[in-house]
Structures are given as structure tokens and as C-alpha cells.
A = this chain, B = another copy of it.
């Protein structure tokens, strides 16, 4: 999915800082084969799923321990050189890009489960473990980790972007599910935040300050998250609707009635067509809600009955149920492959993704006007949404060689964000700010809050070496 290198219009402003040869020498001496300067390795670490093309980092450190991370940061700090943590590279917003130069610290080898505390429903992991690997590691305990952003992202990356996904409507986001951290600071010191206690009033909430800070305040080296008992019963269902509005009105009522639905996802008819073409799923090509219910058998049935009743009021068709694990996997494959199905529907394209999230009462207003604008633009797009949370994503499919398409996509995104902010929402529900939403964030948060963020950043990282140039300018 790499774009050709000649599309300067896609590049963010670069402020490349010097990476002295003395630093590379010192890194090679300390890390030996764990330090790579090979172009192919650097390029792989200088790119994510965003539309941006920038020069790669000067070296990649494959950290295998907290000490490795601390030592790499200390060496970089001596030379005031940027360090950028790297998990699996699934960021959508340019978080990983070395726009000020520097070195990449790849934590993917730090992928161990350090301790499972099944009785307390907690697990402590290294940041490089992916969510699927974590779930494999805990399932024999009858437990699972619900946060599911689609991609098989690393837990470190998910914490750094405050990720969420399809289960957040019931289980919350990384904000609610990270209990404690070990963090390497800008000086290369190792600190701990939080404990395994379920709640605490012990001073500033450094854990939640780090969660969502996108690598700009510290590098996470251990992460303790909550687990949940695997539900006794799980049922998933598809319901199709005559209009997006009918689907959205159904969702709003489900949420307002407090039904503890575990997943509640919208896919519009056009995206279902792309998914069918890509994954041969044979789904009915209509707007649809994909839902999942967790609980005791009685509670799952009670929830499903309530939702069916509401859906039928809005013209929803009868549910198609998926009760076996295989059927459920097929159904959620449709949801998770939407992005890739869309990308492949237009060869060579990239997606400009949106990520607004609004209060549920504003969801119809926000979504329907934006659909009308997208339809009018003529750009192909996909539309999926964690609508139970008021969060949805357009992906406008653009030819990266065509500046006009890029401009149209960004205008659509602009209008959508502006609308979401007017409706008391946010420009980013779960992807983070990165490079792509810095202007949006300023508009959302206001200069006062941005000043406060900047003041914190400058205090904790005075030489601005931790993933500089992301979230806001300074």
C-alpha cells in the first residue's frame, strides 16, 4: 500500500533534525545486531497506514527489554535526537513517521505476557504483544481482553492512541481498561504509574495522562490491563435496514434504554458490496447493523428481544443469527475487512479516514448530512461505525497521484469534523491525532487546553525528543 514517492502534496511539513554519526555508532555498540540501519528496515518503520510519505528514521532499535528502551532513549537524549516507538505499524494518522528525523524503537520483540492474575481479572504484558496474541494467552483461563480496533494492533500502540473498537460500547476503551504502566521517560528513567488495585485516588492520574499521549510523553514498557470473564453466552446477529437513518435511530434507542449490547456496528450498503466482492461473504447488500450480545443465556435472550423489537419499529428486517463461533467469525470478518476490501475496490488508492464521535443523540444529524455530502462529492467511500458509541468512520478513497481527489476528501473531512464539534463531539474517537488532526484538535480543545498540553510536554520532555511534531505544534 505504499504510494509512489513523488507526491509532495501528501507530505507534512518536515523539520529534520541532525542524527549525528556518533549516536549511530553508540547505538550500534550498545545494541549490535539489535540496531539496524538497513534502508528496507528503516523504510518499514517510517511508514504506517496513513497517507503521508516522509523520509524514514536513521536507525531502528529492536528493543528486547525495558533496559534496552531506557538505554536507547538515554543515548538519543544525549544528542537531542527524536525517538519514535513502533509496535506493528497499524497507525492511521502518521504517528510513526519521523517528520523530525530520529530513530525508531521497535518494541515488537517485547511481546511477553508477564503475569496473568486471573482471580483479579488483570494481566501485565509487554507493549509489543498484539491483542490477538494476548487473547490467545488468556483464553485458557476463561478470560478475554475485549478491546478490538480491527487491526491486530500491539497493546502498546493501542494504549498510546487510546484505542477502542467494536466492543467499546460495553467494555470501554483503553482509557477505562489500562490500570498501570511502566514508562521510560524522556531522560531514559523508568517509572511506574498506577497499581493493580481497581480504583485509586493516589495523586495525579499519570496512567491516563500517558494513555493517548501517542509516544510524546514517554515510552510504555509494561502495561497492566483489565480482563473479563468469557461470557457464558454470546450471540451475534445481522439486521438490515431500509435506510441509514432507520439503522441509526434503532441504535440510539437501544443505547438510551441502557441495553448492555456488546457490539453495535453499522456498515452501509456500499461498503457491504465492497466486502462481498473482497471476501465472498454473500451478505445482503443493504445498510446493516452487526450486533453482539454477551451474558448469561437468559440475559442474552432478553437483550436480543429488546433490540429486535426496536429494530422492527424502524423497519429493520428479521435478525440473521450467528451463534456458533464459526458463524460469528464470518460476520466479524465482514466488519474487520471493510477497510481492506475498500482499499482493494479501487486499485492503487489510499483512504482518507475520518473518526468523529458525537453524543448518541446527535448521531443521526452528524451522520446523515455527511453521507449526503460524500454522495454529492462523487468520491467512492466506505462507511463503518461503532455507532453504539456515536463513533463512525468514512474512508474516502483517493488516488494519491490526484491532488484534486485529495483536496475533495480533506474538504469532506473538514466539514464532517466541523459538524461533529458543533454537535459537542470530538474529531477523533479512537485513532488519535498524529499528524492528520492537529488543526482539528486545536479547534476542538481551544488554545487554552492546547497551551496546557504544550506546557506539560515541554516540562516532561524539554528537548522535545519523544515522538516530536505530533498532536500539536511546539
Given A196-B359, A197-B358, 6 more A-B residue pairs with CB atoms under 8 Å apart are A120-B362, A163-B201, A198-B359, A198-B360, A204-B213, A228-B258
A212 in contact with B206 given A424-B196, A449-B193 (CB within 8 Å): no
Q: Does A135 contact B (CB under 8 A)?
A: no
A427 CB-CB contact with B under 8 Å: yes
Bound-state CA distance A190–B429 (Å) is 24
Q: Which residue of B lies closest to A168 (CB)?
A: B199
A-B pairs, top 3 by smallest CB distance, nearest first, are A459-B459, A191-B448, A119-B361
| 14 pairs of residues in contact across A and B, judged by CB atoms under 8 Å | A117-B359, A119-B359, A120-B361, A163-B201, A191-B449, A193-B449, A198-B389, A202-B441, A202-B445, A204-B452, A206-B449, A209-B456, A296-B302, A456-B456
Closest to A386 in B: B199
Task: Tell yes or no: A38 within 8 A of B by CB.
Answer: no
Q: Is A432 an interface residue (CB 8 A)?
A: yes
Task: Encode A425-456 as 1/0 by CB contact (under 8 A) with B.
Answer: 11111111100010001001110111111011
Task: Please report the C-alpha to C-alpha distance between residue A202 and residue B443 in the assembled complex, in whole angstroms.
Answer: 11
Q: Size band of the A side of the interface?
A: 35 or more
In the complex with contacts A192-B446, A452-B460, A428-B361 CB distance below 8 A: no
Q: How far is the CA of A122 from the CA of B256 in the complex (A)?
A: 11
For A431, what are the chain B residues with a Cβ–Cβ distance below 8 Å? 201
Name the residue of chain B whose CB is nearest to the CB of A164. B199
Least CB distance from A407 to B in Å reads 24
Closest to A420 in B: B197
Q: Are B458 and A198 in contact (CB under 8 A)?
A: no
- B360 and A161 within 8 A (CB): no
Question: Which residues from chain B contact A212 at a C-beta distance below 8 Å?
Answer: 201, 203-205
Within 8 A of B (CB), among A102-158: 117, 119-122
CA distance A389 to B195 in the complex (A): 13
- Judge if A464 is at the interface, Cβ distance under 8 Å: no
Q: Which residues of B contact A357 (CB under 8 A)?
A: 197-200
Contact A120 B360 (CB under 8 A): yes
Known: A191-B446, A198-B360, A302-B298. A205 touches B452 (CB 8 A): no
Cα A298 to Cα B296 with chains together (Å): 11
Closest to A459 in B: B459
Question: Is the C-beta of A173 less than 8 angstroms from some C-beta in chain B?
Answer: yes
Distance in Å: Cβ of A248 to nearest Cβ of chain B: 13
- A298-B189 Cα distance, complex, nearest whole Å: 53
A162 on the B face (CB < 8 A): yes
- Which of the residues B196, B198, B425, B455 comes within 8 Å of A460, measured between beta carbons? B455
Query: Please, how many angstroms separate the alpha-carbon atoms of A316 and B198 in the complex?
Result: 26
- A431 (CB) vs chain B CBs: closest residue: B201
Please name all residues of chain B whose beta carbon is closer than 8 Å to the beta carbon of A359 when the two chains form the complex. Answer: 117, 119-120, 122, 196-198
Bound: A462/B209 CA distance, A:
20
Q: Which residues of B lie under 8 Å from residue A199 when comparing CB positions? A: 162, 164, 168, 172-173, 175, 357, 389, 391, 426, 429-430
A121 touches B197 (CB 8 A): no
Tell me if B444 and A202 are in contact (CB < 8 A): yes
Complex-state Cα separation, A5 to B121, whole angstroms: 48
A121–B201 touching, CB < 8 Å: no
Chain B proximity of A255: nearest CB distance (Å): 8
